[in-house]
A and B are shown apart, each in its own frame.
Chain A
Amino acid sequence: MTGNVCVFAEQWRGQISEATYETLALGREVADKLGAPLTAILTGCNSRNLVRSLGVADSVVYVDHPLLAEILPQTCAAALVQLFLNTRPLALLVPLTNISLGIGTLVGARLGVPVINFCKDIQVAGGRLEARCVMYGGKIEATVGATGDPAVLGIWPGARPAEKGHIERAVPVTDAAVVLEDAEAIRLSKYIEPEAGDVDLTKQDVLVAVGRGIQDRGNLGLAEELAKALGGAVCGSRPVIDQGWLPLSRQIGKSGLTVRPKLYVALGISGAPEHVEGMKGADLIVAVNSDPHAPIFNVAHYGIVGDVLDTLPVLTSMVEARRAHVT
């Protein structure tokens, strides 16, 4: 793997994640610009059947071990560090997801090399890697020189379309052995499936999403009225769920649902990458936010700068009037 660009391929519950394919697509671009091979590293237990879906890579290193059946950051980092003891790639790209979060940090620390998180893009300038990082809830973009042996880069979901990184084909596979300590310190007891919500948000054509800008639980009714007028349902970003204003089944984003409605109205949602991950595939995105620099306007098709509490009642009454006129 010396001189290669490597991507950590996360498998969870028997499948390669979408974020892995997105990261592989970015890794493919970087490798091509550097004239370097792209290697996917897959860890798991009896998961070798998944390597075929990593065909965008030139090769796959597969590590099979009972302790790698679930992705636990310290165990996976220990495996990766062993792989890199004798052969150091140019770069290791790790998806920044709920599955793999922490792995890049630990690999970098144990190898004594820098880690760069929050990458949405990687460019090659003069043969060197430069990461474009989205920080501070999406409000700041930093260009960071990626050095290291390897450069360890945490990649935000959505860096590239997943379909660009998902090619099914046979690729050369190297089976690598690692020695892992079974400290029995962390054990998965069970998975808990999400409780079915009263509404299946993934099947809604229209979603009205509320964020911190809704200010108070008492204002949720305004969003519900708009959703009713549009024939849709209300959902929310993480802060609204954490406050208990909406149930977990209504959360959109990294830890919640991924939706692709015909219309997504984002009300008072800043547009942090964790939320965008779950709604960027909507056909039409309309955002209302009082902050003209809110990153939600980077993903929205139409934007309104203003207080959602001022805009909502007017918009709802106009939608209702149009609906009445049409019918």
Chain B
Amino acid sequence: MHILVLLKMVPDVVEDLEIASGGTALDLDCQRMILSESDDHALEQALLLKERHGAKLTVLAVDAAEVDDALFTAAAKGADRVMKIVGSDAGLTTRQAARVLSQTIAEEPGLMPVDLILTGVQAIDDLDGLIAPLVADELHMPYLGIITGIALDVSSDTARAIKEYPSGVRGEFQIQLPAVLGIQAAEKPPRYVPVAKIRAAMKTVKIECAQVLTLADGGWPAVNVLEMKQNEPAGHAEMLEGAPAQVSARLCEILAGRGLF
């Protein structure tokens, strides 16, 4: 059983986001990059499956700021092999990244055969598509997204996956392997790994580098971002200002005025 997890770095939206001077993209040099949240869950789900089935776990990412930290953290958590794809320009679109990942999976020694490819269902910057279905199509594998649980049946090369639907309904699917699944949430919260263990991984684990194999233009016209700006609150909310006691008193008046007491 070989499980491959695809990771993506995204800007940390807890911090202020800076627009580049051209006004059509984020200034990635100014942003703190973190692992995409749903990718973190994809990694956790893979680790749970590895623990249950003794699978080999490979983690692959396109090179980006802070990606080494994410890969060393993955190794510290239990990934057997960590690899990054180097040689592409920063700021690949999602479709370009999917092409680069797919080509690497198909061509790089030791990545195939793979039984299961997991990645986050959607990243906050997936403007021109989603990684999981794109990679699935490129590799001619079945795809299902918004997954919150997986059970493997190694003897029949199938997986039982739980997909979320609206209103708390879930669907249980039988999926023939190999397959690509877009993870919404792992069965358990992503595990904590002590910094000391990550530092140890930095000393003992080697991040393998794969070169981008071809240009990533993909043969399709790129999306044309005309303008990017901070999404300022549109004046919808009336802001209550002051110390907690002041704003709380004002809010109580508002709620009382609306008959909510």
Q: Is the CB of A189 within 8 A of B142?
A: no
Residue from A17, A102, A287, A318 within 8 A of B133 (CB atoms): A102
Residue from B164, B179, B251 within 8 A of A185 (CB atoms): B179
Q: Which residues of B contact A114 (CB under 8 A)?
A: 128, 220-224
Q: Is the CB of A108 within 8 A of B168?
A: no
Shortest C-beta distance, A174 to chain B (Å), equals 27
Q: Are A137 and B13 CB-contacts (below 8 A) given A116-B128, A295-B233?
A: yes
Q: Which residues of B contact A98 (CB under 8 A)?
A: 146, 163-166
Q: Does A145 lie at the interface of the complex (its beta carbon under 8 Å from any beta carbon of B)?
A: yes
Interface string of B228-261 (1 = CB under 8 A from A): 1111111011111100110111011011101011
Within 8 A of B (CB), among A200-231: 205-206, 230
Q: Are A191 and B13 CB-contacts (below 8 A) given A105-B134, A141-B229, A293-B232?
A: no
CA distance A120 to B100 in the complex (A): 29
Q: Is the CB of B244 within 8 A of A99?
A: no
Interface string of A19-45 (1 = CB under 8 A from B): 000000000000000000000000000
Shortest C-beta distance, B146 to chain A (Å), equals 5
Q: Are A144 and B226 CB-contacts (below 8 A) given A102-B130, A112-B219, A192-B170?
A: yes
Q: Is the CB of A186 within 8 A of B236?
A: no
Q: Does B167 lie at the interface of the complex (its beta carbon under 8 Å from any beta carbon of A)?
A: yes
Q: Does B171 lie at the interface of the complex (its beta carbon under 8 Å from any beta carbon of A)?
A: yes
Q: Is the CB of A136 within 8 A of B11?
A: yes
Q: Which residues of B contact A205 (CB under 8 A)?
A: 260
Q: Is the CB of B230 within 8 A of A244?
A: no
Interface string of A90-124 (1 = CB under 8 A from B): 00000001110110111011101111111000000
B contacts with A, residue count (CB < 8 A): 88
CA distance A17 to B10 in the complex (A): 31
Q: Is the CB of A185 within 8 A of B166?
A: no
Q: Among the listed stretches B47-55, B63-71, B82-90, B182-190, which one makes contact with chain A, having 4 or more residues with CB under 8 Å of it?
A: B182-190
Residue from B13, B169, B254 within 8 A of A136 (CB atoms): B13
Q: Is the CB of A137 within 8 A of B124?
A: yes
CA distance A174 to B170 in the complex (A): 33
Q: Does A254 lie at the interface of the complex (its beta carbon under 8 Å from any beta carbon of B)?
A: yes
Q: Is the CB of A188 within 8 A of B173?
A: yes
Within 8 A of A (CB), among B133-185: 133-134, 136-137, 142-146, 160, 162-176, 179, 182, 184-185
Residue from B41, B244, B249 within 8 A of A306 (CB atoms): B244
Q: Is the CB of A287 within 8 A of B219?
A: no
Shortest C-beta distance, A48 to chain B (Å), equals 23
Residue from A72, A117, A140 within 8 A of B228 (CB atoms): A140
Q: Does B125 lie at the interface of the complex (its beta carbon under 8 Å from any beta carbon of A)?
A: yes
Residue from A145, A238, A270, A311 within 8 A of B244 (CB atoms): A311
Residue from A12, A262, A302, A318 within 8 A of B260 (CB atoms): A262
Residue from A242, A300, A304 within 8 A of B236 (CB atoms): A300
Q: Which residues of A contact B220 (CB under 8 A)?
A: 108-109, 112-114
Q: Does B127 lie at the interface of the complex (its beta carbon under 8 Å from any beta carbon of A)?
A: yes
Residue from A17, A104, A186, A263 within 8 A of B142 (CB atoms): A186
Q: Which residues of B contact A256 (CB under 8 A)?
A: 167-168
CA distance A188 to B160 in the complex (A): 10
Q: Is the CB of B226 within 8 A of A135?
A: no
Q: Which residues of B contact A297 (CB under 8 A)?
A: 233, 236-237, 239
Shortest C-beta distance, B238 to chain A (Å), equals 5
Q: Is the CB of A117 within 8 A of B127?
A: yes
CA distance A249 to B167 in the complex (A): 9
Given contacts A139-B13, A192-B172, 18 further A-B contacts (CB under 8 A): A73-B133, A102-B132, A105-B134, A116-B223, A117-B128, A133-B127, A141-B230, A142-B228, A147-B221, A185-B142, A186-B142, A186-B144, A194-B169, A287-B237, A293-B231, A298-B231, A298-B234, A314-B248
Ranked nearest first, the 9 interchain pairs of A and B with the lowest CB-CB distance are: A194-B168, A303-B237, A185-B142, A297-B233, A145-B224, A105-B129, A315-B248, A300-B237, A314-B244
Residues of B participating in the A interface, judged by any CB pair closer than 8 Å: 10-11, 13-14, 16-17, 19, 24, 26, 37, 41, 95, 121-122, 124-130, 132-134, 136-137, 142-146, 160, 162-176, 179, 182, 184-185, 188-189, 219-234, 236-241, 244-245, 247-249, 251-252, 254-256, 258, 260-261
Chain A to chain B contacts (Cβ below 8 Å), 11 pairs? A98-B166, A108-B129, A109-B137, A113-B220, A118-B127, A140-B17, A148-B221, A293-B16, A293-B230, A303-B237, A318-B249
